[in-house]
Structure 1
Amino acid sequence: MTAFARHEEQTELGTLNWEIRSVNHRYLEVAFRLEESFRPMEMAMRKLISDTLSRGKVEVSLRYKAPEQQQDKLEINETLAQNVIDQYQLLANRAENDAPLDLMKVLQWQGVIQSQSLDQDALNALLMQSLEKAVADLVASRKREGASLQTMIEQRCQQINDIAEQVRQRMPEILQTHRQKLQDRIAELQINLESERLEQEMVLLAQKSDVAEELDRLQSHVNEVNSVLQRDEPIGRRLDFLMQELNREANTLGSKSIDTDTTRYSVDLKVLIEQMREQIQNIE
């Protein structure tokens, strides 16, 4: 489900600012953007998210700001800084490049500047608590989006039912119209056709154009869609399958059509089904 959540936690240990984006995906795929100091917590964070979400491509971003008193003093990892300088010098000699080293870039190297030590265990606990709140905000966002999608799908299902009823009611009229056209054509060509033969032709035409089963299945699938929408579980894949079944019946209705209105109804059905299918790709 497409959704977005932002959550900020301000404490004496610093400020944690989470941003979580979610788009539809066949499976659950989670990507993190974290500072290196928080990487050891990634497995725990993945578990927290997988315990809540089952599908979706989820991007999780964390910005951490240390307390003001921690930012007044800088500590430099001299060993790492020297290693960066040495490696630069080695590459510069090999490339015969005598350009001076920009020391500011050395300071910007990940891990060269270190903040004063914090209670990492306490910070990690805060990290998980704030992530749990951010994920809860994401779930709430997904539910709001889901409610909107549910309303749209239910409306399309009602339109499909209405079309199916219109086709069902019009079939006797359509067959009668074709009977009259056939009789008019016979009279025009001055063909002496026995009444029994005419009835046989009409029976064959009725059998060929009979769409009662397709209409029954169409409405049965619509009922199943409405039922699935009420379930408190991931339903995206089930709905996607039902869209395929609905589309199959709409195609069969079109292939059996002997009337321009029925053909138009088939096209209208496929438009409605495609509108639902596109949105269902966003449902978990």
Structure 2
Amino acid sequence: MTGYASAQLEAAGPDRTAPSLGLELRSVNSRFLDLALRLPEDLRMHEPALRALLSAGLRRGKVELRAHVEMEDGARLTEPPVQLLEQVARVQQAVRAVLPDAAPFRMVDVLRLGAGAGASRQDLGPALLALARRALDELSEARAREGARLAQMLRERVQQLRSLAEQAGPLVPQLVQQQRERFLERWREAMQLAEGAAVPEAAQERALTEATAYAIRIDVAEELTRLVAHLDEIERLLARGGEVGKRLDFLIQELHREANTLGSKSATMELTRIGVDMKVLIEQMREQVQNLE
């Protein structure tokens, strides 16, 4: 299921020296859960915790999480503490005592050290997870709204399939009766041409046997019964809610199998049309069911 969510944590403190965090979650359709995390180097250590959080809250979808950390301009230009400057000077003297040709520290290096001392990014773990939970809740709400729309679409397709099944039901007995009469008529014509006499009783029995065998071959009552049972189960799952995507996926496969059998047994254009219409509806359902959790 698709969805988008974002969360921000602005820089805090009177001098706004703390970093600001930003996080985005994107989700697109997928039959399985596929997580992709895009984190800056200083936040990579929190990737296992983020994966565990997302895996606990999501079951399906290709989900991408992006996070970024920004320091406020004021924080970048904050004067480094005197103790830090003294420590840098001592370190530089120690290094040059061993390596006289070593380049001295640059101002940008000292400022970066000062910013790092003022706000360690290793302390961003709790804030990052809190942002991820907030974004996950927002994403789940968006996916729930989409799920409600998909469920309504599935209910509409179920009703259309029921209507087609009701249309197909009366056609089979009529077709069987027509075929019985047609078989008998052909046998009578054949026997009259061959012997010029009335059709023998044995020949008539054979014609009825052939008509019965044909009726069995074209009877789709069993397929229609199973199809309706699958539709009942789909409606029950939609009403229950929860994680029903994989169960619905299986039921859609069963619907497709029954529609294929009905089409292969079709003996009239009307049944063929009904079978084709059923397959179109079932395929529409299959595409959407793969998006549901």
Q: In the alignment, is the contact (CA less than 8 A) between 2:6 and 2:135 conserved in 1?
A: yes
What displacement does 1:182 show?
4.2
Q: Tell me the residue number matched to 2:104.
A: none
Q: Which residue in 2 is equivalent to 1:274?
A: 283
Q: Quote how far apart the aligned CAs of 1:216 are.
A: 0.6
Deviates more, 1:154-163 or 1:18-27: 18-27
Q: Which residue matches 2:71? A: 66
Segment of structure 1 superposing worse, 156-165 or 62-71? 62-71
C-alpha distance in 1 between matches for 2:291 and 2:32 = 12
1:220 aligns with 2:229: yes
After superposing the two structures, state which structure 1 stretch, 46-55 or 266-275, moved more: 46-55
Percent identical residues: 41
1:118 lines up with 2:123 in the alignment: no
Matches within 5 A, 1:22-171: 22-72=27-77, 115-116=115-116, 117-120=118-121, 122-171=123-172
Post-superposition, which runs of at least 4 consecutive aligned residues in structure 1 deviate over 6 A?
none
CA contact under 8 A between 1:18 and 1:60: conserved in structure 2? yes
**Could you say which structure has the larger radius of gyration?**
2
Query: What is the CA deviation profile of residues 233-271 of structure 1, one whole-angstrom value per residue up to 9, with x for unaligned ones?
Result: 322221111111111111111111111111111111111
In the superposition, the TM-score normalised over structure 1's length comes to: 0.78
Q: CA deviation at 1:68?
A: 3.5
Deviations 1:146-167 (CA, angstroms, capped at 9, x unpaired): 1111111111111111111111
Does 225-234 or 162-171 show the bigger shift?
A: 225-234
Cα displacement (A) at 1:213: 0.9
Deviates more, 1:222-231 or 1:161-170: 222-231
Deviations 1:98-148 (A, max 9, x none): xxxxxxxxx9xxxx9664431546532221111110011111111111111
Deviation at 1:212, TM superposition (A): 1.1
Q: TM-score w.r.t. structure 2 length?
A: 0.76
Give the alignment partner of residue 254 of structure 2, picking from 238, 241, 245.
245
Q: Structure 2 stretches of 5 or more lacking a match?
A: 13-17, 81-107
Root-mean-square deviation (CA, aligned residues, Å) is 2.8
**Unmatched runs of 5 consecutive residues or more in structure 1:** 76-106
User: Conserved in 2, the CA contact under 8 Å of 1:74 and 1:113?
Assistant: no
Greater mean deviation of Cα atoms: 7-16 or 49-58: 7-16
Shift in CA distance, 20/193, structure 1 to aligned 2, threshold 3 Å: farther
Conservation of the 8 A alpha-carbon contact between 1:27 and 1:54: yes
For the Cα contact (< 8 Å) 1:17–1:62, is it kept in 2? yes
- Output the CA distance in 2 between the equivalents of 1:9 and 1:113: 22
2:266 is equivalent to residue 257 of structure 1: yes
1:215: how far off? 0.6
Which amino acid is the alignment partner of residue 48 of structure 2?
M
| Match runs of 1:167-246 below 5 Å | 167-182=168-183, 185=186, 193=199, 195-246=204-255
Q: Please, which moves more after superposition, 156-165 or 180-189?
A: 180-189
* 1:51 match: secondary structure: helix
C-alpha distance 121-230 of structure 1, shift in aligned 2 (>3 A): farther
Q: Tell me, what secondary structure is at the counterpart of 2:21?
A: strand
